[in-house]
């Protein structure tokens, strides 16, 4: 496996940027060198940074600069619901633009979480850790998946001609939020360059009480995985409120067993990117470097027959 930096904090003194609005120029030489220093093989880049560049040549130049620093663009983050009416056209058009952009910047994965914006902020179902979840598989009808499958088939067909793979992220507040819905959409799309991102952190924090174990999820979904976001959490349940809150930690330290998960992915023949979906607060370099070091130690044990 190779390590892709899906950083969720973008700070290196004297700069500190809001992560969801990072621009290409914020990926300074110092930042990229530090990413390589902690063991990253490449970068996940948000669509915002790429679209702000404004021209194909600037995207190509940005991709070259990443590659020249030893951390090429591996994946593009581009999501949004393809079944909710509000925002549908914008999300669909962006997905197709990012397929073209992936080829230009040098990435071979376009990953998307298919969630719509929260309709009732602060209410049950609006985010993670509630007893219900907006737009969940629990409440979906088969025609929701059939329509989503058609959209993803079309995107995958276009992407296939460009050497790009489409990844759908298992994510709260979306149709694809557990193992059975991941298999359903994978079967409906049925394309060689399409698959699942089995983000175990999202499985764990969708509801106040997880509807499936992370061990069962990864064992089930590993064979259809094409990209992999990795983060870990501690869960603090408040049963009187039917709510849980979650504390993010390096992948070695939380309640998700990443030794089990990495072994399951390896046994399924996965040799793609392990994307470290990093720290959101504190010293990102310490926390995210620790995650890479741990993952490499587990892979070494597996290779040596000690997994």
The reported pLDDT for the residue numbered 306 is 81
200 prior amide bond cis, ω within 30: no
Q: Do 287 and 278 form a contact (C-beta atoms < 8 A)?
A: yes
pLDDT digits (tens, 9 = 90+) for 173-232: 999 999 999 999 999 999 999 999 999 999 999 999 999 999 999 999 999 999 999 999
Q: Do 170 and 176 form a contact (C-beta atoms < 8 A)?
A: yes
HSE of 97 in the Cβ direction (CA atoms, 13 Å)? Answer: 19
The reported pLDDT for the residue numbered 209 is 97
Q: What is the pLDDT along the chain (307 residues), one digit of tens a residue?
A: 999 999 999 999 999 998 888 999 999 999 999 999 999 999 999 999 999 999 999 999 999 999 999 999 999 999 999 999 999 999 999 999 999 999 999 999 999 999 999 999 999 999 999 999 999 999 999 999 999 999 999 999 999 999 999 999 999 999 999 999 999 999 999 999 999 999 999 999 999 999 999 999 999 999 999 999 999 999 999 999 999 999 999 999 999 999 999 999 999 999 999 999 999 999 999 999 999 999 999 999 999 988 6
The reported pLDDT for the residue numbered 268 is 98
Six token digits for residue 77? 């983050």
Helix (H) / strand (E) element for 145: namely helix 142-160
The reported pLDDT for the residue numbered 238 is 97
Q: What is the DSSP string of 66-102?
A: HHHTT--EEEEE----SSSSTTHHHHHHHHHHHHHHH
Q: What is the largest CA-CA distance in the chain?
A: 56
Could you say which DSSP state residue 259 is in? H
Which pTM was predicted? 0.97
Residue with tokens 């990926």: 27
Q: Please give the backbone phi and psi of residue 213, each rounded to the nearest 5 degrees, phi first.
A: -75, 155
Q: Do 302 and 32 form a contact (C-beta atoms < 8 A)?
A: no
Matching CATH number, 2-301, of 3.20.20.150, 2.40.10.10, 2.40.128.260, 2.30.30.30: 3.20.20.150
Structural domain boundaries in the chain: 2-301
**Could you give the CA distance from residue 16 to residue 12 in angstroms, rounded to a whole number?**
6
The reported pLDDT for the residue numbered 132 is 97
Q: Measured in whole angstroms, how far is the alpha carbon of residue 201 from the centre of its chain? A: 10
């Amino acid at each position: 496996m190779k390590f892709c930096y899906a950083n969720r904090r973008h700070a290196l003194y004297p700069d500190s940027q809001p992560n969801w609005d990072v621009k290409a120029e914020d990926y300074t030489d110092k930042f990229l060198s530090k990413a390589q220093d902690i063991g990253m093989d490449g970068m996940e880049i948000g669509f915002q940074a790429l679209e702000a560049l404004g021209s194909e040549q600037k995207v190509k130049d940005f991709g070259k600069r990443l590659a020249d620093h030893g951390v090429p663009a591996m994946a593009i983050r581009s999501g949004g619901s393809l079944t909710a009416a509000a925002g549908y056209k914008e999300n669909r058009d962006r997905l197709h633009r990012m397929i073209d952009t992936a080829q230009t910047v040098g990435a071979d994965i376009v990953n998307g979480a298919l969630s719509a914006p929260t309709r009732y902020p602060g209410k049950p179902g609006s985010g993670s850790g509630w007893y219900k979840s907006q737009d969940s598989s629990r409440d979906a009808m088969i025609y929701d998946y059939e329509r989503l499958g058609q959209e993803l088939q079309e995107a995958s067909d276009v992407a296939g001609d460009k050497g790009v793979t489409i990844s759908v992220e298992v994510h709260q507040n979306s149709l694809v939020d557990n193992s059975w819905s991941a298999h359903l959409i994978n079967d409906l799309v049925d394309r060689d360059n399409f698959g699942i991102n089995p983000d175990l952190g999202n499985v764990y924090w969708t509801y106040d009480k997880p509807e499936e174990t992370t061990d069962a999820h990864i064992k089930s979904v590993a064979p259809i995985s094409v990209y992999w976001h990795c983060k870990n959490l501690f869960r603090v349940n408040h049963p009187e409120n039917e709510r849980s809150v979650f504390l993010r930690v390096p992948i070695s330290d939380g309640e998700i067993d990443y030794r089990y998960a990495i072994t399951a992915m390896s046994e399924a023949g996965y040799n793609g990117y392990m994307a470290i979906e990093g720290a959101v607060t504190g010293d990102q370099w310490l926390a995210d470097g620790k995650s890479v070091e741990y993952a490499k130690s587990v892979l070494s044990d597996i290779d040596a027959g000690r997994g």
